[in-house]
Amino acid sequence: MPPRRRPLLAAGVVLAVLPGLAACSDDGERQEGDAVSEAEADVLAGLLARNTEEGGADFVVTAPYGEDALLTLTGEVDYTDDVGRAQAVTSAGGAEQVRTVFFTADRVWFGDVPGLAEALEAAGLPPAGYVRRPLAPEGEEASAPLTDVLVRLVLNLSAPEGDDPGVFRAGDYSWEGQRSIDGRLSTVFASPTGWTVAVDGSTDLLLQYVTGLPGQESRVTVSLSDHGPRDIAPPADEETVDGAAQPALLAAVGL
């Protein structure tokens, strides 16, 4: 496979290998667990590249963690400039916390942060609506903040070019049937490492990706919709405080 960005998979495998679609084989009715066909391997090989070609998408990411806790990111991503924004809702024990998040491949911005105004005042810093800090590096998913892992996963669902379809024809990738996602008929495929994808039957676009995360039994679901160009701008420097230069501030507001 050509060099490319690598999404986060439970077993550290490249998401460059994603499947594509077909409902029936030449030999008759499909059975769940059947190997992907040549046509499906072709769709699979171009799945991430098609996200790049489309330019962006709306997304929803759900990630259970801990006991009775859930992090949900709802937003949009620009795959042309590698930037996104989302509303992050943390639900735990019946209580919710909502923050605004912007992200790029190397930075993340947090807005609507409880206690930020007071922490800035206590640190003698001017008012700011957002705190920015570096995004946790790839390869450190097990210890990185969950928000960082999820936004990087969203960004990594794209690639500058397609892969070799032979990867899927030779591998143990399987057809897992069809189902409706947000009113769109999709075909589901599974990888030998445990992640699954659902592919739109009419457009060959990625609708859903489900995977595990290092050190967690629960699975993360990324749903994409309304594929197309996006124009997203992170907060300007004058609107933000540099959290990397203010570690005590980051600690004070839980970032």
| Residue 132, φ and ψ in degrees, nearest 5 | -115, 150
| Per-residue pLDDT tens over the stretch 191-240 | 998 899 999 999 999 999 999 887 777 899 999 999 999 999 999 999 99
3-class state of residue 98 by DSSP: strand
3-class state of residue 72 by DSSP: strand
Domains and CATH numbers, the chain: 24-252 (2.50.20.20)
Global pTM reads 0.87
Residue 19's pLDDT is what? 36
| Residue 164, φ and ψ in degrees, nearest 5 | -75, 115
DSSP H or E run through 96: strand 95-104
3-class state of residue 250 by DSSP: helix
Which tokens hold the place of 36? 């992907």
- Cβ–Cβ under 8 Å, residues 224 and 114: no
| pLDDT above 60: residue 47 | yes
3-class state of residue 238 by DSSP: helix
- Cβ–Cβ under 8 Å, residues 153 and 7: yes
Which tokens hold the place of 108? 């993340």
**Lowest model confidence (mean pLDDT) among 26-35, 154-163, 224-233:** 26-35
What percent of the chain has a predicted confidence (pLDDT) above 70? 89
